[in-house]
Structure 1
Amino acid sequence: MVKKRMIIILTIVELCIFAFIGRLVQLQLISTESFQGVNLIEASVTQRTQQLVIDDGRGLFVDRHGEPLTYAYVPTLVLFPFLKKIDWPIDDIATIISLPKEAIKRQLEEAKGPIILHDGQQPVQLQPWQMERINEMRIPGVIAVHKQIELKEKYAQHLIGLLGQNERLLKKRYGERKLSPNTKIGVSGLQSSFDEFLIPDGETKLLYHVDARGEPLFGMDVKYTEQANLFYPLTVQTTIDRSFQQRVEQIVSQYQMEKGAVVLLDIETNDLVALVSAPAIDERDPYANDAAQNQALLPHVPGSVFKVVVAAAALEHGLVQGQQFNCNRKINGEPEEKKRGMRTFEDSFAISCNNTFAELGKQLIAIDGKMFDVYAQKLGLLPRVGWEGDVYHFSSFRPLREEKQGKIWTDERDKKIPLAVAQTSIGQKDVRLSPLAVANMMATIARGGEAKQVRAVEKMMYKNGTTFFTFAEQRLTTDSLRKETVEQLQQLLRLVVTHREGTGRSFQSLPYEVAGKSGTAQTGKEGIVNRWFAGYFPADRPKYALVVVQLETTSSASATNAIFADIVRATYELEQKGRKEE
């Protein structure tokens, strides 16, 4: 009995030993790169390595002048913690960088890994001669480098977009391509649409190996590794002007816009100069309150801004000459609370008389049910207005991938219902337009009627600065308004500001003459409206088209006109400053 028990125990022990040996074989020889989803070799190397990433390798975004929008490269000083245990010429370094020796010592004592030396809150910024002198000294663990630093102030966050780590999405996009599972990918904005051009081949880093106590394993030499590709990743040069973008963001923040958007276009090129969406993105929780949504690219109820479309169609069909319109009545025939009498078409546009455009809209739809759609396209409102074309091996590539197409009708049967047509004619019912599209309409009119696609990106460049691809200016449609019609629209938009009752008369004292159209759109919620002002300036020699919309606000609380006016003033100041610097 005892013998049998001993045999059983020994058998169990042997089985345990064999299982243990098998596990060791699996860990050491078989599953070294894929044990339960973990690369054991990489994990072992990482455990024995102290490193500092100099550049994560992802491509960058810059503005139209080459100014960084996401990261900057700062000439600074890297120190490794083993310096605490050796004698090194700290006095010489302190003299070269003009920083007290005690400050350097203090930062080193607190270091558990390689550090960027700081001067207060900012990394120490070195001059070229300082970098050269420090690196010529060849002190182990003391290296002057150009370190990639995330900009403290984020520019055009909604346009540029967000990055995130998602191993499943990474594999779905890039298949068998050898990328670290920690590689960040674009999840929104330009970061997402340009992701394939920006994805890194590897990091640039400084590293050295340590033992279990953190002591250097192979001497004091620090290894420098960088990605081998000399051309990738690319740099994306946007059409954004960082100075303009910064001022527009400051103004929107100053007025505490809770929800809305601002779009500023260069009329000549149709380039996006600045874009702001509210609410701002909180990086700690970017999706809270739908903050990651770019309101500038999403369709909203436009209200009276849509009257520009009706006006264009009415002018081209000769419906307004000599007509008087009853502005004492609402679009449903009931009396208006505020009586405005019989008005000309020009007066009606300036004061935004709803009944005038309801009547004209019904006449136009009676002529052709597609009238609004045709003129919305001629004016550059429809379909999507962002740049689209073939890029490399991508057909129909869209930088503004999140742009949604606007609409005018949801139910074709509404064209047979007079009240539905009247509501549509004043930008209500099912009409939805994005701020980007409305800005494009204003740019089209200011430019003389030529509708173009909106460019957000000018070109992509190789790492060495040569051009990889240029996003050429492109027409949106070849079907344009007549020259006389465009000139009449320009006069009407200017009248909105110059007329003594015009809805834009508050802009009369601005440094630039403004032309434009207001809009107050009912949202279906009691007392809640979308407040728009869309226009261009200077009115006599148009250079910029600007749209400001405050979404889901109360009419009394809206700061739309104040924001528009301040942006015009800021643009004037920046233009004057630019001329002085030339």
Structure 2
Amino acid sequence: MGRRENKKKKEYNRVKIIATLFSFIMMVLIIRLFYIQVIIGKTYESSATNQRTKEIPIGIKRGTIYDTNMIPLTNRVRSQHMIIYPEIFLPSKDNLTKIEEITGVNIKNKLTLKRILDLKVKDYNTDIINSLEREKGLFIVAYEERYEANQIGAHLIGYINMADNKGQYGLERKYNDILTQGQDKKIEVVVDAQKRRILGIEKSKKLNNNDGKDIITTIDKKIQTIVEEKLDNKYKNGSVVVLDTKTGNVLALASRPNFNPLDIASYLGKKDKEFYNRAIQVSYPPGSIFKIVVAAAALETGVDMDKAFLCDGYEEIDDIVIKCHSYKTGGHGEINMEEAFSKSCNSYFIKLGQEIGGENILNMARKLGFGRKTEIGLEEESEGLLPNINYIKGSGIGNISIGQGPLESTLIQIAKMTNIVANDGIDRGVYVLKGIVGENNSKIIEKPPSNAVIDKSIAEKLKKMMKKVVVDGTAKNIYDKDISFGGKTGSAQSTANGQYVVHAWFTGFYPYDNPRYVISICIENGGSGGQVAAPLFKDILDEIEKTH
């Protein structure tokens, strides 16, 4: 009996041990399974995914530049690119020939560099594409291009160095640090064990933004397009600026001649200065446009608009003769400020300048933005040129009073001055950046407070005189009885490449009551402002009215 009980007890202990061991093993397996599936499951999943997928870049790692309505100005075009991984790709005479045929590039020597090759497909041959897509380490994908051949707003946007993705000019340069924050644009394609793309399986789009930044400009693409088309249709060299009167926002800014940002190298060494943004970077004598400044200075010093001077067609100061355009007809005769302004009488404004003094003229010019940058937000902006006080003490007062001599202004400065007048003497500033947009945050750029630089009564008198210019003055050829606006013409003498030239100016605002737009124009070597720049103003204005 005792032996039997001992035997049963031993068997029970053995079963108990086995059960405990089995339970332990099961527990270990469960823990291991939990660890594999839950704790490090994502790692295995990622590893498996990496073995059957390949990440391919699909565009320049750079934020998009938008217009004021969030219409993209860059990254608008998609084309086919061939991405080749040299460490995987197996070259042969046949596939190298096919690659060169559709891309125009012989990659044989490039494969030794051991870096990803990015080639644009220039000749999309379906048969060749289909055969190459089965090659190991070669992928053909839709690619996001930074620019277009006919890039809108090229001078404003600028361009980048494709090799290092660094902004070289325009907005690309000014906001390079913002545009390059964290951008990483890729897609995933499914591959087999040999890293060959499996066709017929849809690729999944992937965008790792890492809080990358896009910028929103103040540009209105519709107005920008109108301005560029009108400028291209008529003139080779010149620039146009359109401002939103109430905000100072730049709605359009165009410069000609234009350039293709996809082919920067072809412009190097040329003499046409295609890369110059003539609206902000090149300064010119403002000519009779500057009579706005002289008139404002005179009104501020208390000169009455009815004050008259005699115009004989010329003025002589220190043996220097300065002619009025009425010279051949014997002058304008007795003429007051409003008439002299509308007819752009040089004699009147020379005498007016002598009466009020050069210092008052220069002080007013500074108030209205001459001689300093507008701070539009572009590195290339010029500050123009104002003469020193010594120049205007002698015969120089005659030149300055009609916008000549050592006096230069950019078109954006003229637009800003016109906007001050249109806004009853309030300086709204000039802006081209509206906001910054990121994946996790966005912000609208705050503007500094506006400030009054001339009295409202003076601005109202200037507007009245500018209206008369287009009703029966030097721009009466663009008068329209159905719409009311004001402006000022200018024909500025200058030299370019050692030759005498006359630049055509016009700057104006619309409508006369409660202005919405300021449009300023300068056509290099265009001649008469009234005959050349003023009609362009009217053409642009009419087209804007049709679309807005």
**TM > 0.5 between the two?**
yes
* Aligned counterpart, 2:540: 567
Query: Retained in 2: the 8 A contact 1:528–1:555?
Result: no
* Aligned counterpart, 1:474: 448
**Does structure 1 residue 358 correspond to structure 2 residue 362?**
no
* Aligned counterparts, 1:240-319, within 5 A: 240-255=219-234, 257-283=235-261, 284=263, 285-287=266-268, 288=270, 289-297=272-280, 298-319=282-303
C-alpha distance in 2 between matches for 1:556 and 1:495: 16
* Aligned counterpart, 1:422: 398
* Aligned counterpart, 1:42: none
Query: Retained in 2: the 8 A contact 1:52–1:114?
Result: no
Question: What's the secondary structure of 1:553's corresponding residue?
Answer: coil
Between stretches 302-311 and 331-340, larger displacement belongs to 331-340
**Does structure 1 residue 454 correspond to structure 2 residue 424?**
no
C-alpha distance in 1 between matches for 2:499 and 2:63: 47
* Aligned counterpart, 1:528: 501
Q: AA paired with 1:196?
A: D
Question: What's the secondary structure of 1:552's corresponding residue?
Answer: coil
* Aligned counterpart, 2:153: 156
Alpha-carbon spacing, 1:240–1:142, altered in 2? closer, same or farther (3 Å): same
C-alpha distance in 2 between matches for 1:407 and 1:201: 41
Structure 1 unaligned spans of 5+ = 1-48, 83-104, 116-140, 166-181, 388-398, 576-582
Alpha-carbon spacing, 1:203–1:230, altered in 2? closer, same or farther (3 Å): closer
* Aligned counterparts, 1:21-420, within 5 A: 53-72=57-76, 107-110=126-129, 147=144, 150-151=147-148, 153-165=150-162, 182-199=163-180, 201=182, 203-206=184-187, 217-218=194-195, 220=197, 228-232=208-212, 234-255=213-234, 257-283=235-261, 284=263, 285-287=266-268, 288=270, 289-297=272-280, 298-332=282-316, 336-338=327-329, 339-365=331-357, 369-387=358-376, 399-409=377-387, 411-417=388-394, 419-420=395-396
* Aligned counterpart, 2:411: 435
1:72 shift after superposition: 2.5
* Aligned counterpart, 1:35: none
> TM-score normalized by structure 2?
0.72
C-alpha distance in 1 between matches for 2:494 and 2:146: 43
Structure 1 residues 482-517: Cα deviation after superposition (integer angstroms, max 9, x where no partner): 121111111111111112xx0111121275322010
Q: AA paired with 2:164?
A: T
Identity %: 25
1:452 shift after superposition: 2.4
**Does structure 1 residue 516 correspond to structure 2 residue 517?**
no
Structure 2 unaligned spans of 5+ = 1-52, 91-123
Alpha-carbon spacing, 1:202–1:70, altered in 2? closer, same or farther (3 Å): closer
C-alpha distance in 2 between matches for 1:509 and 1:225: 54
1:401 shift after superposition: 1.6
Q: AA paired with 2:524?
A: L
Alpha-carbon spacing, 1:381–1:412, altered in 2? closer, same or farther (3 Å): closer
Alpha-carbon spacing, 1:114–1:197, altered in 2? closer, same or farther (3 Å): farther
Question: What's the secondary structure of 2:492's corresponding residue?
Answer: strand
Query: Retained in 1: the 8 A contact 2:483–2:511?
Result: yes
C-alpha distance in 2 between matches for 1:405 and 1:449: 21
C-alpha distance in 1 between matches for 2:131 and 2:543: 47
1:281 shift after superposition: 1.1
Q: AA paired with 1:412?
A: I
Alpha-carbon spacing, 1:53–1:351, altered in 2? closer, same or farther (3 Å): same
What's the Cα RMSD here? 3.6
Query: Retained in 1: the 8 A contact 2:421–2:462?
Result: yes
1:407 shift after superposition: 2.2
Q: AA paired with 2:276?
A: Q
C-alpha distance in 2 between matches for 1:111 and 1:184: 31
**Does structure 1 residue 504 correspond to structure 2 residue 475?**
yes
Alpha-carbon spacing, 1:106–1:518, altered in 2? closer, same or farther (3 Å): closer
Query: Retained in 2: the 8 A contact 1:380–1:451?
Result: no
1:386 shift after superposition: 2.6
* Aligned counterparts, 1:12-23, within 5 A: none
1:70 shift after superposition: 1.2
Query: Retained in 1: the 8 A contact 2:133–2:197?
Result: no
Alpha-carbon spacing, 1:111–1:189, altered in 2? closer, same or farther (3 Å): farther
* Aligned counterpart, 2:439: 463
Query: Retained in 2: the 8 A contact 1:460–1:470?
Result: yes
C-alpha distance in 2 between matches for 1:362 and 1:511: 39
Question: What's the secondary structure of 2:506's corresponding residue?
Answer: strand
Question: What's the secondary structure of 1:528's corresponding residue?
Answer: strand
Structure 1 residues 515-554: Cα deviation after superposition (integer angstroms, max 9, x where no partner): 0100000104665101100010111220000011101234
* Aligned counterpart, 2:104: none
Question: What's the secondary structure of 1:497's corresponding residue?
Answer: helix
Query: Retained in 2: the 8 A contact 1:57–1:227?
Result: no
Alpha-carbon spacing, 1:78–1:490, altered in 2? closer, same or farther (3 Å): same
Q: AA paired with 1:472?
A: E
1:250 shift after superposition: 0.5
Query: Retained in 2: the 8 A contact 1:381–1:440?
Result: no
Alpha-carbon spacing, 1:566–1:58, altered in 2? closer, same or farther (3 Å): same
Query: Retained in 1: the 8 A contact 2:311–2:333?
Result: yes
Question: What's the secondary structure of 1:571's corresponding residue?
Answer: helix
Alpha-carbon spacing, 1:77–1:50, altered in 2? closer, same or farther (3 Å): same
Question: What's the secondary structure of 1:187's corresponding residue?
Answer: strand
Alpha-carbon spacing, 1:152–1:325, altered in 2? closer, same or farther (3 Å): same
516, 524, 547: which is aligned to 1:543?
516
> TM-score normalized by structure 1?
0.68
Alpha-carbon spacing, 1:412–1:77, altered in 2? closer, same or farther (3 Å): closer
